[in-house]
Amino acid sequence: QVIKVYTRVLEKRGDQHVALPEKKMGTLTAVDHLWFKKDEVKDLLELVKKGGGEFPKELSRRIARFHLLDNTRGESLSWRKEEIHTMKLEVSSEGLLVGGFSIKSGDEKMGYEGEIRGKLSFGRDGGLSIFECLVIGEHWGEGPWTRGARPGRSPLGQVLILSPATSGHDQTPPQSIRSSSAYWAAE
């Protein structure tokens, strides 16, 4: 199934995170797609039916390596597996998702740390009927194709939401699937 991934730089005002008001490169919403295989969705359904637990590692790694990125200023490099210091995501028997992550480049000049909250549920066919996650964290640094990062650690927000996949643009492959074996195995 297809999950839309929306990414936006944020600004902290008091205890709230808000979108930046400027409409310029780097402040607009970036869009990507996360793909789940049918057997992965089936595994999630079984996990929820059994009372919940740790989100499947392969899916967690795929989300961390290829989708927890600041792609608001261009094409972001995927994280290497050794750069994922922490990626913990739990699902409850009610389908509630909670977790956190810490991802840093080897030299720590670039990274992303934050929390994930969400929910999922399944339709009668066993497929996802709801998948919604809110990711709020701090991102820092820039890659070769993502110049112009804000200085220091900056708030970054992401929304992951189930796509109806009814139109062509909803079926666009994930940006990082160029190496499909690495994407599917999150190696």
The per-residue pLDDT for range 121-169, each reduced to its tens digit, is 999 999 999 999 999 999 998 877 677 777 789 999 999 999 987 777 7
**Residue 70 maps to a domain:** yes
pLDDT at 37: 93
**Residue 184 maps to a domain:** no
**Residue 187 maps to a domain:** no
**Residue 185 maps to a domain:** no
pLDDT at 52: 98
Q: Which domain holds residue 84?
A: 2-14+28-178
Confidence tier at 171 by pLDDT (50, 70, 90) = confident
**Residue 23 maps to a domain:** no
Query: Would you state the structure tokens that stand for residue 175, as one six-digit string?
Result: 């940006």
**Residue 101 maps to a domain:** yes
**Residue 49 maps to a domain:** yes
**Residue 64 maps to a domain:** yes
- Provide the domain count of the chain: 1
**Residues sharing a CB contact under 8 Å with residue 39, sequence separation 6 or more, in sequence order:** none
